[in-house]
Amino acid sequence: MRIIFFGRPGSGKGTYASRIAPKLGIVHIATGDMYRTHVAEGSPLGKLANEYMKQGQLVPDDVTIKMFKERIEKDDAKKGFILDGFPRTMEQAKALEEMTDIDIVINFELDEDIIIEKALARRICENCGNIYNIADINRGSLRLPPLLAGMTITRR
């Protein structure tokens, strides 16, 4: 199964992808993680991407597309994947269309005030780097409970 999660930053794409992908036996491919892996490995694409990121610029499409193509060719992506942050541009979308078929696209839509509330409640574990959220949003039919599973809380 090949899935794309679209939505604004903070809408829940990464959170849901990281929880759903293992249940489906597929991988979660996040563009940001892909960049960080290449940079950490010191790959030629990672060095190039890092130059743009250090300057606060977007990584060019051609670099992102090459990284993505390499990523989906790995064995763990053969059964499928959930994409989070790719494609972001028409050029990336066209390249994706040439590389593989997509089974479903899910667009996460949340009001701006809810995204802000979620962003302010985001926490990152100092020990493992996992992202959690302490917001407890309950508005009409919308229920977004805190995501604390596995979070280690330490006092200073």
Q: Which residues pair with 123 in a beta bridge?
A: 132
* Nearest in space to 17 (alpha carbons), one of 39, 35, 32: 32
Report the percent of the chain where pLDDT is more than 70. 95
State how many domains the chain has: 2
Q: Record the pTM.
A: 0.82
The structure tokens 């199964």 sit at 1
Question: What are the pLDDT digits (tens) for 23-51?
Answer: 999 999 999 899 999 999 999 999 999 99
Helix H segments across the chain? 13-24, 31-41, 44-54, 61-72, 90-99, 112-120
The reply to whether 30 and 89 lie within a common domain is yes
Q: Which structural domain, as residue segments, surrounds residue 9?
A: 2-109
The reply to whether 35 and 97 lie within a common domain is yes
The reply to whether 105 and 133 lie within a common domain is no
What is the chain's mean pLDDT, rounded? 90
Q: Give CA–CA dist 112/15, Å, rounded.
A: 18
Q: What CATH number is associated with residue 71? A: 3.40.50.300
The reply to whether 100 and 29 lie within a common domain is yes
The reply to whether 92 and 130 lie within a common domain is no
